[in-house]
Amino acid sequence: MSAITWTPLWGWPVASLIAVAMLAMGIMQIVLWRRSRGGPTDVTAGSVARRVVMCLAVAAAVVAPSLTVSVTTTAVRNTDVVIAVDVTGSMAVTDARYGSAESVSRISAASSAVKDITDMYADSNFSAISFGSSASVDVPLTPDTLAVDNWADRLTVEPTSTSSGSSLDTPLDLLLRTLKSIRDGHPHDEIILYLVTDGENTSAETRRTYSSLRAYLDDAFVLGTGSTQGGRIPVSSVDRTTDDGGKSSSESPEWVIDPTTGKPGTSRMDTKELESLADEMGGTRVIMTKDATARQAMSSSTGKSWRTRTTRSSTTTSSPIVWPIAAVMLVVSLWELTVWLRTSRRLL
């Protein structure tokens, strides 16, 4: 349904003054013509009509008559999923369970979770980040789920020789830059973060908060892997690390020694730290167990709700009616010019 409204370009006060002045000039043309009838003047009814019409056209233009119409817009919203996986030495501990009673390394459980996530968000874009002593973007934003799954298959913990303990704020700066870049490049997309870690933080420094990520996130999940009972940490190296995420191929693996006790160190999943991470991002903490995987913990309806979707919204917009006024001005101006040329030729 359309309707005529008025949308003056310079606001009603200025437009009203100009419109009144033009109307006054039009009336003045008529008054002066009537007073000069019969006298020595070359003003004709036609010339008065033309000038009055010009005044009326200018008055109409400044108050800008507009046609208000209802417009339906269609937008396609995509989902960008950022997956950050902890690859510190503690992720090699074989105390995790993922959908079964079999114990697997924490990094193996993380790998399985990543592949479940890509399956749940099949129509989305993905970016993959690993973090240990440092953080890196291993897979830039891409719709290629196969690339992310291949990355998950190759996930291994960092070598013990380069490890400096677990610091959960290591990926924070990189995550902040990555999420901001995605938001700037795709302002209408939904952005979800999955942080997969055992929650262990051995750094002596106070961990920085993840709350700064909230500005760029629509949702966040912290997936906890491991157990509160914990387990010994195997020594991992580039040439000895296997597909099991740091579990040595030797029958008698070496263990990371705790320098304070001189005995093999034990790593335990920190559920309180996981809860704090989720709370800071306004997200959800999920502990992966034999009964709960990434797929089961987040219902299928959650995954489907974040897929690419088309939304429609109705809005009203005003379109100034310019061409009729311009057409009238053009016709009258050409008429005035023609009369002026004919009169000038007669006077020569």
- Structural domains in the chain, CATH included, are 3-71+315-347 (no CATH), 79-307 (3.40.50.410)
pLDDT for 301 beyond 60: no
CB-based burial of residue 207 (10 Å sphere; 0-12 exposed, 13-18 middle, 19+ buried)?
middle
- Give pLDDT, residue 248: 41
pLDDT band for 314, please (50, 70, 90 cuts): low
pLDDT above 70 covers what percent of the chain? 84
φ and ψ of 322, to 5 deg:
-95, -45
CB-based burial of residue 308 (10 Å sphere; 0-12 exposed, 13-18 middle, 19+ buried)?
middle
- Give pLDDT, residue 243: 43
How far is Cα 81 from Cα 145, in angstroms, rounded to an integer?
11
Q: State which amino acid sits at residue 17.
A: L
Q: Each residue of 83-105: pLDDT tens digit?
A: 999 999 999 999 999 999 999 99
pLDDT band for 38, please (50, 70, 90 cuts): low
- Average pLDDT on 172-194 reads 94
- Average pLDDT on 187-212 reads 91
Distance (Å) of CA 293 to CA 97, 121, 340: 9, 15, 88
Mean confidence (pLDDT) of the chain: 85
The answer to whether the pTM exceeds 0.75 is no
- Give pLDDT, residue 307: 54
CB-based burial of residue 171 (10 Å sphere; 0-12 exposed, 13-18 middle, 19+ buried)?
buried
Pairing of strands 284-287, 190-197: unpaired
